[in-house]
């Protein structure tokens, strides 16, 4: 596991306690899991431009993942400029509050009514 990354722990239930999750660092492995989704959408927020995985910016990892899996990218306003610096144009740009608001509605068809997100 890369320096600065910790395995997240999730409370499973009272009887079994905490269970560690595996961090997937290979974009191809992660892409194969995401491709099972009917309407995937990768939302990239401000944390992606502040956080490093090893010597690589988290945003670079996200962009490689989106490219490999052909996943549409929804970037927050903070991330748009940085994605353009890496030569990627986000499919949509929203404020994080708007993204959260839209994702709470099951009938939301996604950006430009293309039904690009999944639950």
Of the candidates 81, 107, 83, 80, which has an alpha carbon nearest to the alpha carbon of residue 96? 80
Half-sphere exposure of 61 (CA within 13 A, CB side): 21
pLDDT at 33: 82
Residue 43 dihedral angles phi and psi, to the nearest 5°: -95, 120
Q: Which is more confident, 51 or 108?
A: 51
pLDDT at 112 over 60: no
* Angle, CA of 72, 74 and 27, to the nearest 5°: 55
Please tell me the pTM assigned to this model: 0.66
pLDDT at 88: 93
Of the candidates 62, 23, 33, 69, which has an alpha carbon nearest to the alpha carbon of residue 45? 62
Answer whether 75's CB lies under 8 Å from 90's CB: yes
For 41-77, how does the pLDDT look when each residue is reduced to its tens digit (9 = 90+)? 888 999 999 989 888 899 998 999 888 888 889 998 8
Answer whether 70's CB lies under 8 Å from 88's CB: no
For 1-53, how does the pLDDT look when each residue is reduced to its tens digit (9 = 90+)? 455 555 555 555 555 556 666 777 787 887 788 878 877 888 899 999 998 98
- Per-residue confidence band for 118, with pLDDT thresholds at 50, 70 and 90: very low
Return the domain boundaries, the chain. Answer: 26-113
pLDDT at 119: 39
* Distance, CA of 83 to CA of 76 (rounded, Å): 10
Q: Please name the residues in contact with 53: beta carbons below 8 A apart, sequence gap of 6 or more.
A: 2, 4, 5, 25, 61
């Amino acid at each position: 596991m890369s320096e600065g990354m910790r395995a997240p722990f999730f409370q499973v239930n009272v009887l079994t306690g905490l269970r560690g999750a595996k961090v997937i660092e290979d974009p191809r492995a992660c892409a194969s899991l995401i491709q099972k989704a009917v309407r995937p959408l990768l939302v990239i927020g401000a944390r992606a431009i502040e956080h490093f995985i090893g010597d690589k910016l988290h945003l670079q990892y996200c962009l490689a993942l989106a490219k490999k899996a052909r996943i549409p990218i929804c970037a927050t306003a903070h991330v748009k400029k940085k994605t353009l610096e890496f030569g990627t144009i986000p499919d949509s740009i929203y404020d994080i509050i708007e993204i959260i608001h839209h994702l709470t509605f099951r009938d939301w068809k996604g950006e430009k009514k293309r039904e690009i997100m999944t639950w």
